[in-house]
Structure 1
Amino acid sequence: MESRPPADLARALYAALAAGDREQLDALLHPEFTGRTAEGLPYGIGGDHDGPAAMRRNGWGAIARHFEARAEPERFLDLADGRLLVTGRYHGHGKQGGAVLDAAFAHLIAVDQGRIKSLEQFTDTARWHDAAGPLRTVLLDFEGSVATLRLNRPDKGNAIDESMAADLAEAATQIAERSDVRAVLIAGNGPNFTVGGDLSLFAGTAREQLPNRLRRMIDSYHLAIERLTSIDAPVVAAVRGGAGGGGLGLIYAADIVVAADDARFALGYGALGLTADGGNTWFLPRMVGIRRAQELFLLNRRLTAQEALDFGLVSRLASSDSVESEANALAATLAAGPTRAFGAVRRMLRQSFETGLSDQLEAEKESIIATSRNRDANEGIAAFVAKRRPQFRGD
């Protein structure tokens, strides 16, 4: 590689990226490679990436998770400082229904010992935002059979405002519409899961306008919760930092909740002179009991992570730096399971609080008969008889 001109190395890089050829990328990139993606790109993609692996995962990989995009170089210019300037255009589209992507780029590339040591990206980020689709305050990734829904207002504690409520409804709809999703992971960017409703929205709205503004926001948010609870795919939540108010609804929608051992939980409505949203008055008594729910609402009691575990609000605890990795592993395990059967169980468990025993027994009978027709049931029974691990397909 030592004798290859920088322009040839750059052409090989674009070809490897277009083909998804990791082996070729490893051969082209210097072990001390550093990358910089343009600040202002959607989904928090912009920033510095130290090392080839970080650039593949958080730079190019993040772009690939959200866009079908290809860099098409047009001009190569050797600069006086030894770097290579490549200009061209990105073409493609966002994976969430945005505009067609057609954005100019300039890449500054440095070569050392026949390998690419750095790449700095400049591009028209506004075009990328247009192509990104309707989501602005949440990130939605589809990787394999796992959908990851990530709240993305870290500077506001992932507080839920009108935009986030609408984004959550849209994201939940997209998840519900995809038959290939077999598990969902919900998490938050930054130090908090979500502090609940955006109090700056409440404080900054005139008294006579607040009811209608709350109605619009909560309508969207409740739609998101309903759709997340109705899908077949199991839901896992990874909770760090604070989780409060209506934001607890996202925890209730989950089947398994992994919380950091220093996480905190609170309702907070009493301190605001408000009642509840996010399904708090429905889910909470069923999870922790009516007496504990009354105490949490009326005394505005805050729970530590251990208390939330003892109360039954969360499923398990992990250290703060391992919460997401554990939740990811659980989501991957669930995604390999019998998705249709999981969905039926999710629904029957929730309806059991309102259903009499005879009706629930009837529902169980009809459900197991229905799932016995699925290919996953045939596979599970055959694997049990053969004493092997089943290979479920989700149907």
Structure 2
Amino acid sequence: MKTLTLLGSTGSIGRQTLDVVRHAEGELKIHALAAAKNVKLMEEQARLFNPAVVVMMDEGAVRELRGRLRDLPIKVDQGMEGIINSVTAPQIDTVVTALSGRIGLEPTLAAIEAGKTIALANKETLVAGGDLVMSSAKKKNCKILPVDSEHSAIFQCLEEESKTIEKIILTASGGPFFGWTKEKLGTVTLEKALRHPNWEMGAKITIDSSTMMNKGLEVIEAHHLFNIEYDGIEVLIHPQSVVHSMVEYCDGSVLAQLGRPDMRLPIQYALSYPTRWKNPFERLNLRGKTLTFHEPDFEAFPALAMAYQAGRQGGTLPAVMNAANEVAVSAFLQKKVSYLGIHDIVGNVCSEHHVLDNMDLESILDADTWARRRAEEHIARLEARCSNRKDC
């Protein structure tokens, strides 16, 4: 039996991870659950899975949850210190990092330092600190198992000899605006952007998918996970979301992993690796299906090109791009900026950044803090300029 700490248990990936645990027939046990502030759902999860520890980032949520769980012998901990304690506990084997955003970096590094296996669902961790994370994992001989469907697909298609790989091909659904021109994208509303055609995800990743920033982050993640140069990473739009990604070898062979658009499958594979477990999840049916593939439109969706550029330049720039994007997407979700304004904000912050190449955790966090502050300043200026205009 594998014992888990699950970070981000109340989010989309966290909920689906618990569904995998429920169907794993005694193969998995939850030691700790961690989330931001969803007290109601955390109480439900705690009562169902009976962890030793639950952690909430929000101080008020901690007080409320302690009251709700006072009849159970469950420790309710708080903040980043509580999360670090939960991922370094000697009882656990694996940490599922499903927190949203750069906040996953510190607990991932702490878990690696403690020798834990990482089931990585938090791509921002490798975007912001990929060199640091991968070098730490190598030093500690820790496995990092991908949970993103695309990276899980690549992982499953890889042969032992990496020298034979010609390129990896990341597939992208294209989101709700596949085929739209940049002019038409100027009409996008929040409600339209949150309607993903294939996947059920949290709000932030759904917006990132629609702008293709999510695919850009995945390009950087793939570079670090599989030690592939950016020229060897290709993106193809695949609206059906059946082929989750592919690996092309030097002899021209292409291996692909197919499945339904269901995150429980890559989650389960990361948790069952190196074996496969049966489950009751719906199977893929290819009868009558047509699978299509298209080149991405870098002009209409410039976030993808921006991510390639940031990844190639490296240093602190990917962390800055990610931080600015988190702030800009949050502002869009609050209807403070327009859809196209997301890219403008991120682009402006990246262009203003003085890139540092020799990175440690402190320099990454400093760059992240700077980028968030600059993004907020750009948003404030946009709000002031657009306060009396209907087109903003």
Compute the TM-score of the two structures, normalised by the length of structure 1: 0.24
The structure with higher relative contact order (CA 8 Å, sep 6+) is 2
* Larger strand share, 1 or 2: 1
Larger Rg: 1 or 2?
1
